[in-house]
Amino acid sequence: MTETGPILLSETRGHILVLTINRPERMNALSPELSDALIEAFVEAGADPDVRAIVLTSVGDRAFCAGADLKARAQEDAAGKPFQPLLSRVQRYVFEVVYETIKPTIAALNGSAVAGGLELALACDMRVAAEHALLGLPEAKRGKGAHFANVMLPRMIPSGIAYEMLYLGEYIGTEEARRWGLVNRVVPRGEALNEALRMAEAICENAPVSLRRMKETAIRSNGLPVPAALRLNEGISPYSSEDRVEGIRAYVEKRKPVWRGR
């Protein structure tokens, strides 16, 4: 099947970057080209001072992302093309890039997120899901690995639930996902992006220096002993920043702060 148009759409709404996966004919599955486009977009957004939050979504309402493009992989297997593990390629690991992006990230799950699609959502800081979406990791049923989820899922939810999802490969609904903390909010069909944008707009009302410090510290401290984590000094310090002075002055003067990100 020949694709027409860009596989990743990009739109800036104020200080929010909206990235939209555009492969609805393949259930928005991850191809090597799409992974490369996502890596480039997230790296550039991390370096852009005008971007304060990133929302990731997809075209259509069937699937946020169905994971790796298995039809394409089957064709490559049939042609004898060797499989390259994600961490052994020239390109960076897409889930790692999304996870380490220093800006707040929200996945708007307009449809189901399964396999690598769920891993992509887990790499984001927060998730908003349409009520009809399903979430699951069927890799054990396909002889695949779910490497990112193997690491992240037991850190995010009770280990027994994580192992059940990994070992059984069954799907769960959004209400169950919310109960375990896999999604932040469940909304009616067609409203995931709107709700994610509302959250992103609220985030952008806050100090960029503080947001960056929170994100970098949370990521870098993951797994560290508490005494070591407390001594991290990641990025620009909000305590000595212009934003801290402005934030306090604006509060005293009863007005909205004007953030400068420094």
Point out the residues that are catalytic. Answer: 139
Q: Is 197 helix (H, G, I), strand (E, B) or coil?
A: helix
Q: Could you tell me whether strands 8-13 and 16-21 are parallel, antiparallel, or unpaired per DSSP bridges?
A: antiparallel
Q: How many CB atoms lie within 10 A of CB 126?
A: 18
For the residues of 108-177, what is the DSSP string, one character each?
A: EESSEEETHHHHHHHHSSEEEEETT-EEE-THHHHT---HHHHHHHHHHS-HHHHHHHHHH--EEEHHHH
Residue in 184, 179, 189, 193 with CA at minimum distance from that of residue 132 = 189
Q: How far is CA 150 from CA 39, 115, 124, 145, 154, in A?
A: 21, 11, 16, 8, 7
Q: How many CB atoms lie within 10 A of CB 175?
A: 11
Cβ atoms of 125 and 103 closer than 8 Å: no
Dihedrals phi, psi of 78, to nearest 5 degrees: -65, -30
Cβ atoms of 18 and 53 closer than 8 Å: no
Q: How many CA atoms lie within 13 Å of 143's alpha carbon, on the beta-carbon side? A: 2
Cβ atoms of 18 and 57 closer than 8 Å: yes
Helix (H), strand (E) at residue 12: strand 8-13
